[in-house]
Amino acid sequence: MKKKGQSSNKKKDFIIKAMRLTFLSMTILLTTSLMLSANAGRGQELSKRISVNIRKGSLEKALKQMETQLNLNFAYDQQMVQRYQTDEHNFQDQRLDGVLTLLFDEKDLSFREVNGVIVINAVRKERIVKQAQGKIQGKVVDEQGAPLPGATIKIVGGTQHAISDADGNFSVSLEPGVYTLEVSFISFKAQRVQNIVVKTDAPAMLTVRMKADMGSLGEVVVVGYGTQKRSEVTSAVSTVKADNFNKGGIRSTMELIQGKVPGLNITKTQGNNPNAGASIQLRGVTSLSGTTAPLIVIDGIPGGNLDLLQPDDIESFSILKDGSAAAIYGTRGNAGVILITTRKGTAGDPRYEYNNYFQRDYTDKKPDFLSAEQFRQKISAGIISPTSDLGGSTNMYNELINKNNLSQYHNLSASGGSEKSNYRASLYYNDFQGIAQQNGRKQAGGRLNINQKGLNNKLTMQVNMVANFNKANLLGGDAGFFEQAVAWNPTAPIHKADGSFYEINEYFNPAGRLANRLNQRDQQTFAGDARFSLAITKDLSASVFGSYQRDNFNDRYYRSMYDFEQRPGTSWQGMGYASKGNELNWTKTLDPTLNYEHNWGVHSLSAIAGYSYQYSTRETFSANNNGFTTDAFLDWNLGAGSATNNTALPRPGMGSFKEDNILIAFFGRLNYSYKNKYYAQVIMRREGSSRFGANNKWGNFPAASLGWTITEEPFMDDISFVDNLKLRVGYGVTGNQGIPNYRSLITLGTGGVYPQNGIYLQTYGASRNPNPNLRWEKKLEWNFGLDYTILNNRIRGSIDVYSRETRDLLYNYAAQQPAFVRDGLYTNVGTIKNHGIEILISGTPVNGKDFQWNVDLTANSQFNKLSKLSNQQFKATYLTFADIPNPGAMGPAIRLEEGGAVGNFYGKRFAGFTEDGKWLFYKADGTKARASEINENDRTIIGNGVPKYNVGLNQTFRYKNFDLTMLFRGKFGFDILNLQEIFFGNKKYLPNNIFNSAFDRHAQLNDDPQYSDYYIEKGDFVKLDNLTLGYNVKVTSPYVRNVRVFVSGRNLLTFTGYKGLDPELEDTGFTTGVDTRGFYPRTRSWTIGLNVGF
């Protein structure tokens, strides 16, 4: 016990030191930030844009408030200012001179800037009598009549202007006459009101109704190493912003955009398992053995860790789908790129936001296996032996379900600051519980963003820091537990009379494993980055970006001496087993860049050139021992296991490993536009990777794209229903360096130990063949796209058609011995082709004052083919995937052949049953034969597990303060191999428990399991994936800005002809469409949540 205590104290000391170091780092950073803010240059203060909430009261207090919050300097006579009052105002992103003009309206005050100081003077009264003044008074509202505070109101041709207050009201004093008024507001189209007659006897009253700029052509889109306006984008780039995220209780970051981006497949193959991530694939599979998931870039950090993201901390996703967009990332862009931008600090009064939800999961669909009563009925009918009745009545499946699961999510954020210096910080805590017993994940952490401007606004600093601490219980998430639960004899009790767990020799008792085992992970993840940007001239700027990301986890595993696997009579001799392991991954990145932007006349040019350096390393350590005669220490005293001295026990183990890699690149991008009508973009990246052979360390990755805004042409002037029409075409080359390290090198591996002069010495030898010609996989891609908005921006969307070819696919081929030392060589040979169409349609069918209806439809097709697998030197007839487990030795289910589609099921063709229930299959010549008579020539393609078509339909309804969101998703044109029916639907599997289908749907079958198209089913489905109802509470408190409550359901309905549990299976990679025997229960989730803004 002493050793355990010492270990615990050391861990506590380490945590305390780490917390102190983190606190000290944040304190230094914040102090430096404030010092920089205090010494920042002024520049043209009156022209800068500010955000501030002015409280009702004296004008002097308002000026002092602005000095404090906005870091301004005012100079004025105190007695002169004290006699004036001001109303409450809410200014958002407004010029300072406009704000002061409104505050000083009808006051004998003027202002001017002198060396960065705003000097306020009294206006001398004119001796001559001025002409009497009139007014324009009004209100600025949106299309639903809601006020728009902070809108800018200008008199066209004059200097007078105003800003709407918190209620959208404004007032402009003018001499009598006829005027034109212009109103502008962010995300709305500017509106002009003409022929306004101003008189002295009464103000001119009007209401200005603003229309949303639904075309979003001015929307800023995040692209690699920068941003572009949506109107300037010439590649296939999809953007999803926070207001369009999936609503409700979202656990996984990528679920926020599931069904929102055509061509992007996001599948949770283990349902709502809190310790399982999502499978992600963009535009089909692109590699045989390398990375097939898109590159994740978080705030500029390539390879960002999704564990560091919380849904409420994310601002937007940008998906670089084609080669002309992703080429800027070179050998990491083959499978596409997902750029994730987190929320940043903004100027304004301090704001707080608190978001939470509570979620309960329910089993969606359970397997239909025999109950204890049904099992005994089969015994009475003579189908099952009477000796199989073990006297109990157990539903082992239900025993594994965590019926009291309750997950919770909490996120508290604070933001504020001035234009010069602002921040955003958030803290979170999650407790996610799975539907399975002993399956959960608790995590806590925080995120900090600081933005700073200095040197007369020429120098900008942005710093981000984020940490995640999580502890996962992995034991109950084992899919094999539920496979055993289905096979468990329902008449077998859980416990024996003495309290020990009942065991069936061929199978284990899942409840016993839950009680006698431990499997946990303790993980800490951190990322920090900083970017400094300096404006050198008006057109030229330089920036440097650096980041550090660190992921460390410790695994602990223990099997009690009472666990069935450790029982007496086995090699473990009734004693316990323990293991520990840890892994450390860290990456550092440095990206200096130069940016140039220049406009002259109708020409516009922008360029970026940069250098990128990234170093990554991975370190692991593990140790195990056995022979524990007590469970008191668990895994905290490995040395206490007697296996270190008792050679009759399995040998203890210990291992360690380290690997690293370096990536260096030079890159550039040039953008040109002419008359905001014709656009061109060129990209070049030259990149070197330590993973490739000595003869191919460096590669070039070029790309080019063009855009033509057709609606800017004169011949489109008479086509009034088309608001915007833009044609895009792009071509790009990307690579894939997502392969294991050192595959091009000859590396050492251990062999046996041999005696030398009485001493046993470890031997070493070559573990692989070197390949100095090893190079990156290379994808060449064409993309043709059309962006459109029609009917006054009521309908908008895009269509993209792509064709891609990935060459030089890497795979381990047979190597001739000699000359090769080993029998395999990792080399470039194959080619995969993909093509498809992607469609996005967004519309607003109804847009009334009280009721609005928005629709977003995404659809895509994808087709994948292996066009080449061999060359003259390296041969491979076909590749196989998805081996079917025993019993039966049925072999692999999927075959990938040269010239064939990805995902083909390859096997026997069902021809019926004999009279005694034996299998019959078709031979190649069409005749029928028994299973023993079928040979390789008789097998053929019997289905395909890759969905050809994907559809997502999202609808949002708003009625006054209510909102309702519905997301339907569907996948079509694919097949499913139902492995559960192969085994559990066959009476030969008795006396194990089986499905009821063995006695109805498969009643005629009386033979050993066989793999054929008999078990291939259509997998098409449509799901009601998300249904969220929210209500925005009317708030009048000065302390609370907004309150929203919501209730949400996930995975509520599934429409399908598939007879298994869930038709949504793995559809990425090469093992698609297989419904395996082991599974994690799919769930239906209900969530209630609260969002509050202070």
Would you say residue 35 has pLDDT above 50? no
Q: CA geometry: angle at 306 spanning 340 and 951, to 5°?
A: 65
* Whole-number pLDDT of residue 18: 40
Task: Summarize pLDDT for 63-73 with one digit per residue, the tens.
Answer: 888 887 777 87
Tell which CATH architecture fits domain 351-1093: Beta Barrel (2.40)
* Neighbour order of strands in the sheet with 177-184: 161-163, 152-155, 177-184, 191-198
- What residues are paired with 756 via a beta bridge? 759
- Do 892 and 922 meet the contact criterion of CB atoms below 8 Å apart? no
Backbone CA torsion sign across 318, 321, 322, 323: positive
3-state class (DSSP) for residue 603 = strand
Residue 997 or residue 167, greater confidence: 997
- Quick one: which of 650, 640, 630, 648 has its CA closest to 575? 630
* Whole-number pLDDT of residue 44: 58
Task: Summarize pLDDT for 419-474 with one digit per residue, the tens.
Answer: 889 999 999 999 999 999 999 999 999 999 999 999 988 999 999 999 999 999 99
When mean pLDDT is compared across 481-490, 503-512, 603-612, the lowest value belongs to 503-512
Would you say residue 9 has pLDDT above 60? no
* Whole-number pLDDT of residue 196: 87
* Whole-number pLDDT of residue 16: 41
Would you say residue 484 has pLDDT above 80? yes
Task: Summarize pLDDT for 1039-1065 with one digit per residue, the tens.
Answer: 888 999 999 999 999 999 999 999 999
Residue 379 or residue 26, greater confidence: 379
* Whole-number pLDDT of residue 387: 94
Question: Average pLDDT for residues 265-283, to the nearest whole number?
Answer: 90
Count other C-beta atoms under 10 Å from residue 174's C-beta.
18
Average pLDDT of the chain, as a whole number = 89
* Whole-number pLDDT of residue 4: 40
- Quick one: which of 391, 532, 376, 388 has its CA closest to 452? 532
Length, in residues, of the chain: 1094
pLDDT band, residue 185 (cuts 50/70/90): confident
First to last CA, the chain: 50
Half-sphere exposure of 875 (CA within 13 A, CB side): 3
Q: How far apart are CA 850 and CA 846, in angstroms?
A: 10
Would you say residue 882 has pLDDT above 50? yes
- Do 283 and 833 meet the contact criterion of CB atoms below 8 Å apart? no
Would you say residue 331 has pLDDT above 70? yes
Burial class of 588 by CB neighbour count within 10 A (0 to 12, 13 to 18, 19+): middle
Task: Summarize pLDDT for 579-631 with one digit per residue, the tens.
Answer: 999 999 999 999 999 999 999 989 999 999 999 999 999 999 999 999 999 99
pLDDT band, residue 52 (cuts 50/70/90): confident
* Whole-number pLDDT of residue 789: 94
* Whole-number pLDDT of residue 68: 76
pLDDT band, residue 1 (cuts 50/70/90): very low
Would you say residue 127 has pLDDT above 50? no
pLDDT band, residue 128 (cuts 50/70/90): very low
* Whole-number pLDDT of residue 181: 87
* Cis status of the peptide bond prior to 819, with omega within 30 of 0: yes
Residue 186 or residue 538, greater confidence: 538
Q: How far apart are CA 473 and CA 273, in angstroms?
A: 11
List alpha helices for 286-330, DSSP H.
323-326
Q: How far apart are CA 685 and CA 701, in angstroms?
A: 5
Domains 126-213 and 225-346 share a fold: no
Half-sphere exposure of 6 (CA within 13 A, CB side): 4
Q: How far apart are CA 595 and CA 541, in angstroms?
A: 5
3-state class (DSSP) for residue 750 = strand
- Quick one: which of 120, 114, 341, 308 has its CA closest to 227? 341
- Quick one: which of 589, 584, 464, 599 has its CA closest to 529? 464
- Do 109 and 82 meet the contact criterion of CB atoms below 8 Å apart? no
3-state class (DSSP) for residue 41 = coil
Looking at 3.40.640.10, 3.30.360.10, 2.170.130.10, 1.10.357.10, the CATH number of the domain 225-346 comes to 2.170.130.10
Kindly give the pairing relationship between strand 653-674 and strand 603-628: antiparallel
pLDDT band, residue 726 (cuts 50/70/90): very high
* Whole-number pLDDT of residue 1055: 97
Q: How far apart are CA 906 and CA 975, in angstroms?
A: 12
In percent, how much of the chain has pLDDT > 90? 69
List alpha helices for 936-1002, DSSP H.
979-984
Question: Which top CATH class is 44-125?
Answer: alpha beta
Task: Summarize pLDDT for 91-123 with one digit per residue, the tens.
Answer: 777 778 778 888 887 787 888 776 677 878 877
- Do 47 and 96 meet the contact criterion of CB atoms below 8 Å apart? yes
Would you say residue 230 has pLDDT above 90? no
Residue 81 or residue 400, greater confidence: 400
* Whole-number pLDDT of residue 37: 35
Per CATH, the number for 126-213 is 2.60.40.1120
In percent, how much of the chain has pLDDT > 70? 93
3-state class (DSSP) for residue 8 = helix
Would you say residue 735 has pLDDT above 60? yes
3-state class (DSSP) for residue 589 = strand
* Cis status of the peptide bond prior to 991, with omega within 30 of 0: yes
Token match 């998805």: residue?
A: 882
Residue 161 or residue 853, greater confidence: 853
Phi, psi of 484 (to 5 degrees): -65, -35
The top-scoring range by mean pLDDT among 501-510, 747-756, 1005-1014 is 1005-1014
Q: How far apart are CA 897 and CA 880, in angstroms?
A: 9
DSSP 715: G
Residue 78: alpha-carbon gap to chain centroid: 55
Task: Summarize pLDDT for 762-772 with one digit per residue, the tens.
Answer: 999 999 999 99
Question: Average pLDDT for residues 963-986, to the nearest whole number?
Answer: 96
- Quick one: which of 901, 911, 985 has its CA closest to 945? 901
Q: How far apart are CA 774 and CA 305, in angstroms?
A: 28
Residue 297 or residue 886, greater confidence: 297
- Ordered by start, the domain boundaries in the chain are 1-39, 44-125, 126-213, 225-346, 351-1093
Question: Average pLDDT for residues 1021-1027, to the nearest whole number?
Answer: 96
Task: Summarize pLDDT for 976-1005 with one digit per residue, the tens.
Answer: 999 999 999 999 999 999 999 999 999 999
- Quick one: which of 803, 807, 805, 799 has its CA closest to 782? 803
- Do 912 and 921 meet the contact criterion of CB atoms below 8 Å apart? no
Q: How far apart are CA 182 and CA 195, in angstroms?
A: 12
Task: Summarize pLDDT for 892-902 with one digit per residue, the tens.
Answer: 999 999 999 99
Would you say residue 150 has pLDDT above 80? no
Question: Average pLDDT for residues 312-335, to the nearest whole number?
Answer: 94
- Quick one: which of 827, 730, 767 has its CA closest to 223? 730
For residue 226, give the H/E element and its range: strand 226-229
Burial class of 650 by CB neighbour count within 10 A (0 to 12, 13 to 18, 19+): middle
DSSP 681: E
